[in-house]
């Protein structure tokens, strides 16, 4: 994933009055990272290898890789 | 440009598209990391600690669903800081609510680095002719389902609207009255955004075409 987005400047307050947008802390994402790998039953390295060969072992593995790589891009859980 | 505000509108439009065609009461939500504010993830029923293992989107306007969708996007702002940009997207069709029985999935990953096409379709199905061909090829893939079928590239890749239309016209999903208008409006919005991006990328081509159509176009 190599999106070349520029750093964003806050151009005003964002009012999410009915909670569509959630802000996750590092602690939240750390737990999500652990939960995702536990759910799918593969390590990060195993998922990475499955992605490299294009041969995911299960639908859950593929879906989890999409999420982990996009939102939780760590080889190890963040401290 | 405010990423969260634009993402909120994107999620709401996606909810309206689904609820106006083949779903009922769906509400897409978004999540942003407090330390990476350049990207936002849009999905269905994710919570802060559980991003996978969540249920799929029931494809139903009233009766028991026959299939479920998994739709998620990672969004950012383009390099011009002007428009919302899709970094990755995943549109999967499943035969069960737990999303373990996948029927097909459309994937998009901007600037994908592993050699597979940025936008592709995978259909986890078997095919004797394909198996025969792949058995004679040196790659790791030996099943149709492992192939990454290209689907048009970055600008005009398949969309959620296309998948919705597919499910309706193939009579897999029941549709609400007026679904064609809902799909058409949403598709026009997407194509308009993609066209603007294409014009930014190829302004001389755009100017040439407009000039040939009689428009007066001046260089900046």
Cα separation, B10 vs B60, whole angstroms:
22
**B61: its two tokens:** 């306007």
pLDDT in tens, B175-204: 999 999 999 999 999 899 889 888 988 999
Query: What pLDDT sits at residue A11?
Result: 44
DSSP string, A6-26: PPP---S----TT--EEEE-H
Cα separation, B22 vs B174, whole angstroms:
6
**B33: its two tokens:** 């990391």
Query: What pLDDT sits at residue B42?
Result: 92
Query: Please, is A65 exposed, middle or buried when counting C-beta atoms within 10 Å of its C-beta (0-12, 13-18, 19+)?
Result: buried
In terms of pLDDT, which residue wins out, A21 or B210?
B210
From A44's Cα to the closest Cα of chain B, the distance in A is: 14
Query: What pLDDT sits at residue B81?
Result: 85
**Domain segments of chain A: what residues?**
26-71
| Mean pLDDT on B64-82 | 91
Query: Does the pLDDT at position B212 exceed 80?
Result: yes
Asked which of B2-16, B81-95, B142-156 is least confident by mean pLDDT, the reply is B142-156
pLDDT tier at A54, thresholds 50, 70, 90: confident
Query: Does the pLDDT at position A8 exceed 50?
Result: no
Chain B contact set for A42 (CB, 8 A):
none
Nearest CA in chain A to B104: A59
Query: Does the pLDDT at position A12 exceed 60?
Result: no
> Which residues make Cβ contacts (< 8 Å) with residue B108, sequence separation at least 6?
B86, B88, B89, B90, B118, B119, B120, B154, B157
CB contact under 8 A, B32 and A40: no
| Mean pLDDT on B55-64 | 94
pLDDT tier at B218, thresholds 50, 70, 90: very high
In terms of pLDDT, which residue wins out, B184 or B46?
B184
CB contact under 8 A, A55 and B30: no
CB pairs under 8 A between A and B: 158
The predicted model scores a pTM of: 0.86
> Which residues make Cβ contacts (< 8 Å) with residue A59, sequence separation at least 6?
B92, B94, B99, B100, B101, B102, B124
Of B70, B173, B110, B145, nearest to A60 (Cα)?
B70
């Amino acid at each position: 994933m190599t999106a070349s987005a520029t750093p964003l400047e806050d151009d005003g307050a964002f009012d999410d009055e009915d909670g569509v947008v959630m802000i996750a802390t590092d602690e939240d994402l750390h737990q999500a990272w652990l939960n995702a790998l536990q759910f799918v039953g593969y390590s990060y390295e195993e998922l990475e290898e499955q992605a490299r060969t294009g041969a995911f072992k299960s639908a859950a593995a593929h879906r989890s890789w999409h999420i982990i790589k996009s939102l939780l891009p760590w080889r190890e859980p963040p401290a | 440009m405010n990423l969260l505000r634009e993402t909120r509108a994107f999620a709401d439009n996606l909810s309206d598209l689904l609820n106006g065609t083949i779903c009922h009461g769906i509400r897409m939500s978004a999540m942003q990391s407090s330390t990476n504010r350049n990207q936002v993830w849009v999905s269905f029923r994710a919570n802060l600690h559980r991003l996978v293992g969540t249920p799929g989107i029931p494809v139903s306007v009233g009766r028991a669903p026959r299939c479920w969708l998994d739709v998620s996007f990672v969004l950012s702002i383009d390099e011009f800081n002007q428009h919302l940009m899709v970094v990755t997207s995943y549109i999967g069709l499943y035969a069960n609510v737990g999303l373990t029985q996948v029927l097909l999935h459309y994937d998009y990953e901007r600037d994908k680095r592993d050699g597979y096409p940025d936008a592709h379709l995978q259909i986890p199905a078997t095919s004797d002719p394909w198996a025969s061909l792949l058995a004679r090829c040196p790659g790791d893939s030996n099943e149709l389902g492992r192939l990454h079928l290209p689907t048009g590239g970055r600008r005009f890749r398949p969309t959620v609207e296309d998948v919705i239309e597919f499910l309706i016209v193939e009579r897999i999903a029941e549709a609400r009255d007026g679904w064609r208008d809902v799909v058409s409006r949403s598709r026009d919005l997407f194509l308009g955004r993609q066209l603007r991006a294409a014009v930014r990328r190829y302004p001389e081509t755009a100017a040439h075409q407009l000039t040939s159509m009689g428009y007066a176009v001046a260089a900046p």
